[in-house]
Every structure is written in structure tokens, then in C-alpha cells.
Amino acid sequence: MFRSLNGGALGISLPLDDMLGLAHAASFEGLDLHLPNLLDLAARTSVQDLKDRFGASGVRAGAWSVPVDHGADDASYQAALKALPRAAALAHALGSPWCCTVIRPFSDQWDYAANLEHHVARLRPVAQVLADQGCRLGLEFIGPKTLRVGHAHAFIHTLDEALDLGARLGTGNVGLLLDAYHWYTSHAALQDIQKLSARDIVYVHVNDAVAGRAIDEQLDLERELPGASGLIDGLTFMRTVAGTGFDGPVAVEPFNAAVLGLDPPDRARVACESLARIWP
């Protein structure tokens, strides 16, 4: 496993060289990729230029979000799917096969079965393109009950449900984006991670829950740095993940107002320090 700086999760958006310098200064081994910016930069310079910048910085490529909105209208979806091979090829050339997408845990339109059919239809072509480019797809299930309240139909919000969707895609390159917060808020247990193999995990997010709230009261966009409240035993979580043989990127995703109030270098520093507290 390696520590990767996710700028988006920390509200940091800077030019590539600045992001690489920020990651290196904060002792991250990797930097997650913002593909729209990198595709534009590669078009103006070259893929080799980007590879050289990563190499010179001593920071490796981390994970990236699939630039295809599987919930979009058909025209937008098809256009993004057509552009995906180029994006995936660039990420793979930079050394990253790790990508992810979020599964929204509810629908006001479809019941569970119909929504599952829709997701298979939309995500199978995405996963196949990624497989053709040597990339893997991590499905992120969203755990907090507070997100499902008030919606007509609940959808995938547990580890097992996400694994089931991945198996239904049938492309052989689909696993989980395993987020400690969603694992905790979905009432999962360590045994749910222990049953996984390295191929079941594509990418890992770590964070902590907010003190004073029960599990079912936790809000998706209010979290703490790993180890801050202790509601999530981050060290045991990470030891269990390491026990699967997972060797990919691990990023901090706190969604925390106090962290976002810091200057970008301090945000990166406290994020990496929080990882050190829970690193096996």
C-alpha cells in the first residue's frame, strides 16, 4: 500500500507541478490524478512530459475517478464513454490502473431490481473499456442511513451489495473502493474485510466519524481525519486491509471544515500525519 494525496478530497486544486511538490513535501508517496487537467496538459506537451514530471518529483501516480457519469442522459453518457479509452490509456501510461466510481444509495425513479439492471447496463461498457486498457474499476458504496431517508427506493449501500454488482458486470476487473467511513456507517464488521482478497479492493479511503453521533446519525459530508475521534478504529481497519494483500493507493477523505480552513500545505501535512497514526 502507499499513501496518496487526493487534492479534491482536501479542496486543493493547483497546477500539476505544484501538486507534485505539495505531495512530496508532505511525505505522500503518490498523487491521485485529475484526468481532465492531465489530458489537457498532455495535449499541449506530451504523455512523456507528464511521465517525466512524475519521475522527477519522486511521487507516483495514485487513483482517479472514472470520467463517465453513469447516471447522465444517454447522449452525455455515450460521449463520455467514447472519450474514456484515451483517458484510461493516459492514466495507465502514468502508472495508475486504479480508478473508481460512486454508486448512489437510493433512487426516486427505480426500485432496487430495476436500478440494478440500469447500473449493469451502464457500467459494464465502462468496465470493459477499462479492462481493455489494463485498468481496474472500484465501486464505492455509500453507507450513511441519513442519505437514504426520504427517498422512494434504497439501493446499494453495503460491501456485499457492491461486490454483487461488480460480479454481475462480468469483466473481471471490478472491485471496491473501500472507504472506512462507509464501511462503518453501513454497520459492517472486520470479518467483511477479512473475507476479501487483494483483487477485491481497488482503492482505499480513510477517515473517522464525528463524535457524539450514533452510526445512523452520521452525515456523509461531515467527517474527521483518521484517528481523530476514535469511533472508527483506523489502525485495525488498515491492518485488516493489509491482510488481504492489497497494495494500491490509500487516500484521506475527511470532508472537514477545520481541515479545509488550513492553507493547502498544512492540509496536506495534517492529512499525511493522520495516515501515519493508523498505518500498519
CB atoms within 10 A of CB 182: 26
Average pLDDT, the chain: 98
Q: Closest Cα to residue 217, out of 179, 177, 191, 184?
A: 184
pLDDT score for 3: 98
Give me the domain span that covers residue 17: 2-278
Confidence band of 248 (pLDDT split at 50, 70, 90): very high
Average pLDDT over residues 69-84: 97
Residue 153: strand pairing partners: 107
140 pLDDT band, cuts 50/70/90, is very high
Q: What is the mean pLDDT of residues 217-245?
A: 98
Q: What percentage of the chain exceeds 70 in pLDDT?
A: 100
Contact 186, 143 (CB under 8 A): yes
Q: Grid coordinates 426516486 are at which residue?
A: 108
Q: Which has the closest alpha carbon to 224: 197, 190, 255, 260? A: 255
Residue 135: pLDDT band (50, 70, 90) is: very high
> Quick one: pLDDT at residue 235?
98
The number of CA neighbours under 13 Å toward the Cβ of 100 is 28
Amino acid 145: pLDDT: 98
Per-residue pLDDT, 157: 98
Backbone torsions φ then ψ of 242, nearest 5 degrees: -60, -30
Q: What is the reported pLDDT for 35?
A: 96
Total domains in the fold of the chain: 1
- Tens-place pLDDT, residues 10-51: 999 999 999 999 999 999 999 999 999 999 999 999 999 999
Over residues 85-89, the mean pLDDT reads 98
Single pTM value for the model: 0.97
Averaged over 187-204, what is the pLDDT?
98
pLDDT of residue 193: 98
| Strand 249-252 to 201-206 pairing | parallel
How confident is the model at residue 120, as a pLDDT?
98
What pLDDT, on the 0 to 100 scale, is given for residue 265?
Answer: 98
What CATH number is attached to the domain comprising 233?
A: 3.20.20.150
Q: How many CA atoms lie within 13 A of 158 on its CB side?
A: 9
Q: What integer pLDDT is reported at residue 215 of this predicted model?
A: 98
Write down the pLDDT at residue 261: 96
User: Contact, 165 vs 120, CB < 8 A?
Assistant: yes
Tell me the HSE value of 131 on the side-chain side, using a 13 A CA sphere.
13
Residue reference for cell 507516483? 60
Average pLDDT over residues 209-236: 97
Query: What secondary structure, in 3-state letters, does the chain show?
Result: CEEEECCHHHCCCCCHHHHHHHHHHCCCCEECCCHHHHHHHHHHCCHHHHHHHHHHHCCEECCEECCCCCCCCHHHHHHHHHHHHHHHHHHHHCCCCEEEEEECCEECCCCHHHHHHHHHHHHHHHHHHHHHCCCEEEEEECCCHHHHCCCCEECCCCHHHHHHHHHHHCCCCEEEEEEHHHHHHCCCCHHHHHCCCHHHEEEEEECECCCCCCHHHCCCCCCECCCCCCCCCHHHHHHHHHHCCCCCEEEECCCCHHHHCCCHHHHHHHHHHHHHHHCC
